[in-house]
Amino acid sequence: MIRRESIRTVLRQGSVGSTTTVYGWVRTARVSSKVAFAAINDGSCFQNLQVVFDRDLFAHEQLAGLMTGACVRAEGTIVESPGREQTHELHATSLEIVGPVDDAYPLQKKRHSLEFLRTMPHLRPRTNTFASVFRVRHHLSLAIHRFFDEEGFYYVQPPLITSSDAEGAGETFQVTTLPLHDVPMKDGKVDFSQDFFRAPAFMSVSAQLEAEPLALALGKVYTFGPTFRADPSDTRTHCAEFWMIEPEMAFFDLEDNMALIERFMRYCANYLMEHCADEIDFFERFYEKELKERYRMIQENEFGRITYREAMKLLTESGRSFDTVPKWGEDFSSEHQRYLAGDVFGKPVFITDFAATVKPFYMRLNDDMETVAGVDLFAPVVGELVGGSQREERLDVLERRASEQRLDMEIYGWFMELRRWGSAPHSGFGLGFERLLMYLTGMENIRDVLPFPRTSGRMF
């Protein structure tokens, strides 16, 4: 058994005068004639531990192993530090170079570009930036589970392999065991009866369709899992494999839905402020100067609220010349989103009651017969964070809208049956986990908040 204390434990609970053993990776080392210093980090917290070496006790060759990136074990006494930058440090009595590095080690103690670090996903977690991102990612995940648990939701796990392409979502990855060099054909088409499921199968692009039946039995449910999109879109906010949170609630209308989204965002912001203070300080210093203002905006203010109709009016009367002209019956472009969330409101803003033509068939038709009870939450910088709606619970209306959008009713058979027997008003939303993480860390590329990002054309 390896005996050691984490640096987090040493710095937060270690008592002066006690001895301890730590393991960690060298961030930087300074050797002078009488004394040497090494800052080591084991990932347990943002701070490094300063280890001090009396040069009378350590051979020159041994200290030469304290190169940036080397894994070391240090044993010693915890003392108060005379230095300004840390309250405590470790006076070493022994040092072992557990995993040495040579001069080809690519990470230096100075700052690297994010582009360079993207080429080495196996090493970049050893940087302040990525270790912080992944610690925040952990805490945000926990915050999400806690929030929904406290709100009385059940965590459900819909399948990742599905039979249907969720309406409105993007392109799918197909799952097959058919031999790609010799695909069986029948009547000029692929013979899926010979495939694993005896039918075409896809990676899930949304859990919503499967979440609805669970909500209409358990009341309030949420999903939190990976989602796969084969869109060729190459942008800083898109990824082929990402995580989504998709709550679905019986007996929630659109107002209830929005109130839930607001409580959710506030809970996450509060939780991270409490658990990731060092990381948030770091991100504010190096990545997003207004980061804490962003948190305050979520914690202390109601989000903006505006209908699609009002938003269109605002855009057309703004006097701005947009590349895409805003037009009733069409969706907002990203410059429209940026204008509304960034310039007009300066905080996240709900857009509600969209023209029915821009939203999928399952959103509830409003009494005006031309808008639907959908809601999008646009945030400055990252754009669309949340998309949700009150679902259409009236069978006749749902069937009419589905046929208007020329959907294959066979695939949606069971979805229709939910409305045929014991139908209930219900709502839900979907939230991109990585986009939320981007918003709350200030990172501006989705590839930098995923440990091993998968994007079109690149597996790293």
Partner RNA sequence: UCCUCGGUAGCUCAAUUGGUAGAGCGGGUGGCUGUUAACCACUAGGUUGGGGGUUCAAGUCCCUCCCGGGGAGCCA
Applying the rule CB under 7 A, the residues between 280 and 309 that interact with RNA are: none
Q: Give the one residue of 165, 331, 370, 399 binding RNA; rule: CB under 7 A.
A: 331
Of residues 19, 235, 403, 405, which one binds RNA by CB under 7 A?
Answer: 235
Residue from 231, 253, 256, 278 binding RNA (CB under 7 A) = 231
Residue whose C-alpha is closest to residue 172's, from 241, 230, 234: 230
Report the candidate in 460, 455, 458, 449 with the shortest Cα–Cα distance to residue 130.
449
Site membership for RNA, residue 383 (CB under 7 A): yes
Backbone angles phi, psi at 414, to 5 degrees: -70, -30
User: How many residues contact RNA, by CB under 7 A?
Assistant: 74
Distance CA 379, CA 338 (A): 8
- The backbone torsions φ and ψ at residue 236, rounded to the nearest 5 degrees and listed phi first, read -75, -5
**What's the min distance (Å) between Cβ of 389 and RNA?**
11
x/- map, 102-121, RNA, by CB under 7 A: -x--x-xxxxxx-xx-x---
What's the rounded Cα separation, in Å, for the pair 231 and 455? 9
CA–CA distance, 173 with 176 (Å, rounded to integer): 10
Residue of 276, 386, 418, 449 interacting with RNA (CB under 7 A): 386
Q: Which stretch binds RNA (CB under 7 A): 157-165, 187-195, 263-271, 334-342?
A: 334-342
Restricted to residues 29-88, the positions that interact with RNA (CB under 7 A) are 30-35, 37, 39, 50, 52, 64, 67-68, 81-86
Residues 393 to 422 in contact with RNA, rule: CB under 7 A:
none
Among 42, 89, 248, 393, binds RNA (CB under 7 A): 89
SS3 content of the chain, % helix, strand, coil (to 5): 35, 25, 40
Query: Can residue 335 be called a binding residue for RNA (CB under 7 A)?
Result: yes
| Site of tokens 């947009």 | 322
Question: Shortest Cβ distance from residue 447 to RNA (Å)?
Answer: 6
Distant-in-sequence, close-in-space partners of 268: CB < 8 Å, separation ≥ 6 = 140, 143, 144, 147, 298, 436, 440
Mark the segment that binds RNA (CB under 7 A) among 24-32, 186-194, 262-270, 277-285. Answer: 24-32
Give least dist CB 178 to RNA, A.
25
Minimum distance from residue 443 beta carbon to RNA (Å)? 10
For the bound state, the minimum distance from the C-beta of residue 455 to RNA, rounded and expressed in Å, comes to: 8
Rounded-to-integer distance, Cα 118 and Cα 452, Å: 9
If the CB atoms of residues 44 and 129 are measured against RNA, the closer one turns out to be 129
**Residue of 186, 320, 420, 458 that binds RNA (CB under 7 A):** 458
Q: Where are the alpha helices (DSSP H) in 276-393?
A: 277-286, 291-300, 308-316, 334-338
- Residue 93 binds to RNA (criterion: CB under 7 A): no
Residues linked to residue 71 through DSSP beta bridges, in sequence order:
25, 99
Instruction: Report the residue count for the chain.
Output: 460
Closest CA to 345 of 295, 374, 379: 379
Is residue 435 part of the contact set for RNA (CB under 7 A)? yes
Instruction: Give the residue with the Cβ less far from RNA, 351 or 386.
Output: 386
With beta carbons less than 8 A apart as the criterion, state whether 205 and 227 touch. Answer: yes
Q: Tokens at residue 42, please?
A: 């084991």
Q: Does 427 bind RNA (CB under 7 A)?
A: no
Per-residue b/e over 338-359, b at no fewer than 16 CB within 10 Å? bbbbbeebebbbbbbbbbbebb
CB of 70 to RNA, least distance (A): 10
Residues 192-221 that bind RNA (CB under 7 A): 206
In angstroms, what is the minimal distance from the CB of 290 to RNA? 17
- Is residue 151 a contact point for RNA (CB under 7 A)? no
What mask, x for binding RNA by CB under 7 A, covers residues 243 to 282?
Answer: -x--------------------------------------
Q: In this chain, which of 301, 333, 357, 366 binds RNA, going by CB under 7 A?
A: 333
SS3 408: coil
